[in-house]
A and B are shown apart, each in its own frame.
Chain A
Amino acid sequence: MIRIENLSKTYGDTTVVQPVSLTIEKGHIAALVGTSGSGKTTLLRMINRLVEPSSGKVWIGDEDAATIAPHLLRRRIGYAIQGHGLFPHRTLAQNIAMVPQLLGWKPRDISDRVDELLTLFQLDPARFRDRMPHQLSGGQQQRVGVARALAARPEVLLMDEPFGALDPVIRAKAQDDLRDIQRQLGTTLVIVTHDMEEAVTLGDRIAVMDKGVLLQYGPPTEILTHPATPFVEALIGKAERPFRLLSLSHIGDIAVPGEAEGPALPRDTSARDALAQCLWLGRDRLAVQGGGVVTLEALRTRAKGDGA
């Protein structure tokens, strides 16, 4: 769990983050969205004290972060920097091994962990272990940056636009993977993004920031259906709203008893994909694997934000 209390940052006489308070439950993902320069990175970096707060407190679990030596605090908190920040003079394996080494892991454990992470991020260890960062594509570099942040199985993970350099297809895959990994490890994750879509897909909660002010903090549905200010509403994008809402539910959750022709869809298909299928096939109901159907009616209700 991370608890932030009245955290603010002032440089000279410009306040770049106005006092912010929010709590991220253990094992949850908080997505920080906002326009460029709104203070997302600054807020994130105050959590691991790369930026010393001007006021306020950060609690990691029940420890006050200000009482832990910064370098020890940072070894417990994974951090994937905006851009990748890989060490250009070290191989990928050495990059990923950095924190475990600092923590004094056994060499065997470190090399096993490196291979495990490379595999997890679809980089064949045999081929990639000894490569230098400059021999990778931008997207691969970012994935290694994330792997490095995860290396010591941190309880808390901070990520600053980790998927910026990825194309949409790989990006979606990376988001899925990240979610799986995060669920598996029970990591508490704070991810900065300026992409509302990514925030909705990943976040258990979304924090919207503008000009250093936290405008709204809540679950995606709440942000989508009850935007607190016109700015939040604009950020969501009116035209996209129903689809974003749909993307939050799986058809397994809204299936009702019944019969429908055609092949059955897996239960974890998103409502958004199901709607697309309905429109494309010209049907008003689709079969769901394991019995039941999803109806156009139910999808329509979901798209209005009802019944969530």
Chain B
Amino acid sequence: MADTSLATPVPVPRISRNGLLFALLGGLALWLPLVQFKANRIVAGEGLSLPGALPGGAGWGFVCLVILLLAAGLLYRLPLGWRLGLALIGLAAVILSLGLAAKGLTPEGNRVVRVAPASGFWMLLLAFGLMGTDALSRLHLSRKARWAVLCISLGLIWLCLASGLLNETSVMVEYRARADLFSRSLWQHLTLAFGSLAMALLIGLPLGIMVFLIPKLRRGVLGVLNVLQTIPSLALFGIMIPVFGWIALNVPGAAQIGVAGIGLFPALMALFFYSLLPVVSNTLVGLRTVDPAVHDAAFGLGLTQRQVLFQVQLPLALPVVLAAVRIVLVQNIGLAVIAGLIGGGGFGSFVFQGLNQTAMDLILLGALPTILLALVAGVALDLMVEAISPKKGNVT
């Protein structure tokens, strides 16, 4: 292909600025320990950087590969598809090196030694992860393609875990010791996040509609919800204990239907209270932003108040309401960790147990799946909001 550019030739090849950032991150990571080698799960360990962590010369091989990939990412003209490929190879290499390091460092049959991922590993993961998401976002994929990317990513993560590649790493060792508890915690965590969301929608949507229809109520309702929102999360979870404990004791029948001071119930309620404000205020905002001309035309054509609400205002407010659902869901997945503190279960129980025992691996066992859940929920809901939002066009 002939070079037809008429601009003055650039003597030095241009460098991709994002690529430079990823290269700096990744380069720095190579100096940091890839893994932490510990004689048992509690003692402080010894950091091993990539060359030293792998048996034989394999470490240096991975170092070369990483440098090569990061350097290729610097090229300004590299097509986005290639960039994505580089990132994927990088991620695979980093994860593979962790798995191999863990396998290599754990003596056969030893169940006490722990090989934990350390700062170098996380930073490499970050560098290639950013490289990948950067390329993905600039590819401007269609919505379908982005759903596919989400599913494929989940599939790859599952493959990594199921293949046994990472079996010797500390977090997976902790996992195997608690596989049953883990799946129970997963369900509890999902129950907490989705249950509180469902309750918030059930109560918040009608409440939002009500304050929209009756402006007099707005200040009062939003005021109360605002106050609820400003209570620090730890405190709110704490307050639930005496309040619901008292109710369970003194209100007849309350305990029978599950009301209790500790456990899942108070945690669910705390999350529910946090979710109310976003749902109510977004419902109100969504309804209020409906073009008055549309509202007017609807009445003018002879729709009843009810029909205007359900056929015109609510459908038009839906994207804003869904935005609240996204906020609430991602927020609650994170906040549900605190439920672990009041016996509500969920991944928080691992985190707090880990904190008590200063067992970092146990903390990670709770934190990593929480982060993954929040990420997936965020991306999935973004895609849904986009799907139902009206396309902006030449609206007059």
Interface residues of A (CB under 8 A from B): 48, 50, 71-76, 79, 81-89, 98-99, 102, 132-135, 137-138, 141, 145, 148-149, 165
Query: Chain A residues with Cβ under 8 A from B294's Cβ?
Result: 85-88
7 contacts between A and B (CB under 8 A): A48-B300, A50-B299, A83-B396, A86-B294, A89-B315, A102-B302, A145-B297
By the criterion CB–CB under 8 Å, are B301 and A148 in contact?
yes
**Distance in angstroms between the alpha carbons of A137 and B393 in the assembled complex:** 10
Query: Chain B residues with Cβ under 8 A from A141's Cβ?
Result: 396
**Distance in angstroms between the alpha carbons of A73 and B301 in the assembled complex:** 9
Q: Would you give the 0/1 interface string for B267-301, flagging 1 where the beta carbon is closer than 8 Å to chain A?
A: 00000000000000000000000010110111111
**Distance in angstroms between the alpha carbons of A132 and B312 in the assembled complex:** 15
The one of A48, A84, A138 that contacts B293, using a Cβ cutoff of 8 Å: A84
By the criterion CB–CB under 8 Å, are A88 and B301 in contact?
no
Query: Chain B residues with Cβ under 8 A from A149's Cβ?
Result: 301
Kindly state whether residue B183 has any CB partner on chain A within 8 Å. Answer: no
By the criterion CB–CB under 8 Å, are B312 and A85 in contact?
no
Query: Chain A residues with Cβ under 8 A from B304's Cβ?
Result: 71
Query: Chain B residues with Cβ under 8 A from A138's Cβ?
Result: 394, 396
**Distance in angstroms between the alpha carbons of A286 and B272 in the assembled complex:** 84
By the criterion CB–CB under 8 Å, are A86 and B297 in contact?
yes
- Minimum CB–CB distance from B10 to chain A (whole Å) comes to 43
Kindly state whether residue B14 has any CB partner on chain A within 8 Å. Answer: no
**Distance in angstroms between the alpha carbons of A85 and B396 in the assembled complex:** 10
**Distance in angstroms between the alpha carbons of A141 and B303 in the assembled complex:** 21
Kindly state whether residue B11 has any CB partner on chain A within 8 Å. Answer: no
**Distance in angstroms between the alpha carbons of A138 and B395 in the assembled complex:** 8
Kindly state whether residue B316 has any CB partner on chain A within 8 Å. Answer: yes
With A86-B294, A88-B294, A89-B315 in contact, do A75 and B301 touch (Cβ < 8 Å)?
Answer: yes
**Distance in angstroms between the alpha carbons of A50 and B300 in the assembled complex:** 7
**Distance in angstroms between the alpha carbons of A137 and B396 in the assembled complex:** 8
Query: Chain B residues with Cβ under 8 A from A133's Cβ?
Result: 395
Kindly state whether residue B144 has any CB partner on chain A within 8 Å. Answer: no
Interface residues of B (CB under 8 A from A): 291, 293-294, 296-304, 307, 312, 315-316, 390-396
- Minimum CB–CB distance from A145 to chain B (whole Å) comes to 8
By the criterion CB–CB under 8 Å, are B302 and A134 in contact?
no
By the criterion CB–CB under 8 Å, are B390 and A88 in contact?
yes
**Distance in angstroms between the alpha carbons of A48 and B297 in the assembled complex:** 12
The one of B293, B303, B312 that contacts A83, using a Cβ cutoff of 8 Å: B293
With A134-B393, A141-B396 in contact, do A85 and B300 touch (Cβ < 8 Å)?
Answer: yes
By the criterion CB–CB under 8 Å, are B391 and A74 in contact?
no
Top 7 A-B residue pairs of the complex, sorted by shortest distance between their CB atoms: A85-B297, A134-B393, A75-B302, A74-B302, A79-B300, A138-B396, A85-B293
**Distance in angstroms between the alpha carbons of A134 and B390 in the assembled complex:** 9
Query: Chain A residues with Cβ under 8 A from B390's Cβ?
Result: 88-89, 132, 134
**Distance in angstroms between the alpha carbons of A86 and B301 in the assembled complex:** 11
Contacts A82-B293, A84-B293 known; list 16 others, CB within 8 Å.
A50-B299, A50-B300, A72-B302, A74-B299, A74-B301, A81-B293, A83-B293, A84-B297, A85-B291, A85-B297, A87-B298, A87-B312, A88-B395, A134-B392, A137-B394, A138-B394
- Minimum CB–CB distance from A45 to chain B (whole Å) comes to 8
- Minimum CB–CB distance from B27 to chain A (whole Å) comes to 48
Residue of A nearest to B292 (CB): A85
By the criterion CB–CB under 8 Å, are B395 and A50 in contact?
no
Query: Chain B residues with Cβ under 8 A from A98's Cβ?
Result: 301, 303
By the criterion CB–CB under 8 Å, are B300 and A81 in contact?
yes
Query: Chain B residues with Cβ under 8 A from A134's Cβ?
Result: 390-395
Query: Chain A residues with Cβ under 8 A from B296's Cβ?
Result: 50, 81, 85
Query: Chain A residues with Cβ under 8 A from B393's Cβ?
Result: 132, 134-135
**Distance in angstroms between the alpha carbons of A85 and B308 in the assembled complex:** 13
By the criterion CB–CB under 8 Å, are B301 and A79 in contact?
yes
Residue of A nearest to B295 (CB): A85
- Minimum CB–CB distance from B305 to chain A (whole Å) comes to 9
**Distance in angstroms between the alpha carbons of A84 and B312 in the assembled complex:** 15
The one of A50, A76, A88 that contacts B291, using a Cβ cutoff of 8 Å: A88
Query: Chain B residues with Cβ under 8 A from A99's Cβ?
Result: 301-302
- Minimum CB–CB distance from B311 to chain A (whole Å) comes to 8
By the criterion CB–CB under 8 Å, are B301 and A102 in contact?
yes
- Minimum CB–CB distance from A82 to chain B (whole Å) comes to 8
Most buried by A among B294, B312, B315, B392: B294
By the criterion CB–CB under 8 Å, are A71 and B297 in contact?
no
Query: Chain B residues with Cβ under 8 A from A75's Cβ?
Result: 301-302
Query: Chain A residues with Cβ under 8 A from B297's Cβ?
Result: 79, 81, 84-87, 145
**Distance in angstroms between the alpha carbons of A81 and B390 in the assembled complex:** 22
**Distance in angstroms between the alpha carbons of A87 and B291 in the assembled complex:** 9
**Distance in angstroms between the alpha carbons of A185 and B294 in the assembled complex:** 27
By the criterion CB–CB under 8 Å, are B394 and A74 in contact?
no
- Minimum CB–CB distance from B307 to chain A (whole Å) comes to 8
Query: Chain B residues with Cβ under 8 A from A86's Cβ?
Result: 294, 297
- Minimum CB–CB distance from B391 to chain A (whole Å) comes to 7
